[in-house]
């Protein structure tokens, strides 16, 4: 992280991997969410805004910068139907997504979109899930922006 102090002098504040790696109960640890930054109205300078409990979305009017690693669907637990238990969720955020490594499928109520490394996609809220139908871990960078208060 790079930032300016009260005198306007820019310097490196942090140059290390984020310690804010979250996993989901019941899912393999290779499915992880690495929180890098949240915007907060009250965050003082040099505060590690990602030092908090896992949240699906930022607070109203805020933003979240996160990297997610998706293991192959075959590594996920299965539901009663024998299919991978994908993490379906609904948000009201606008999410700016870029696949960094691999191939990932965005699933939604009436369709899907296949994304390759380098592809970008904006998701404007709604119910969705991500599916990794390959044999390798896929890496996604995402910025979620929540509507204002």
Instruction: For residue 87, give both structure tokens.
Output: 């993490």
- Domain coordinates in residue numbering, the chain: 21-145
The residue behind tokens 């592809």 is 119
pLDDT along the chain (149 residues), means of 10: 84 88 94 90 67 86 95 95 92 95 96 98 93 98 90
Total-model pTM: 0.88
Q: What CATH code is assigned to 21-145?
A: 2.60.120.10
pLDDT of residue 68: 97
Give the integer Cα–Cα distance in Å for 68 and 148: 25
pLDDT of residue 70: 97
The residue behind tokens 């699906």 is 56
pLDDT of residue 6: 82
């Amino acid at each position: 992280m790079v930032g300016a102090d009260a005198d306007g002098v820019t310097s490196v504040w942090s140059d290390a991997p984020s310690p804010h790696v979250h996993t989901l109960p019941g899912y393999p640890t290779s499915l992880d969410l690495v929180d890098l930054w949240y915007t907060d109205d009250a965050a003082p300078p040099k505060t590690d805004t990602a030092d908090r409990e896992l949240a699906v979305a930022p607070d109203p009017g805020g933003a979240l910068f996160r990297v997610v690693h998706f293991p192959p669907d075959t590594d996920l637990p299965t539901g009663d139907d024998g299919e991978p238990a994908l993490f379906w969720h609904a948000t009201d955020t606008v999410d700016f997504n870029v696949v960094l490594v691999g191939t990932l499928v965005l699933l939604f109520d009436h369709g899907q979109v296949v994304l390759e490394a380098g592809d970008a996609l904006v998701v404007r809220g709604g119910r969705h899930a991500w599916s990794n139908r390959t044999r390798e871990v896929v890496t996604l960078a995402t910025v979620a922006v929540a509507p204002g208060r």
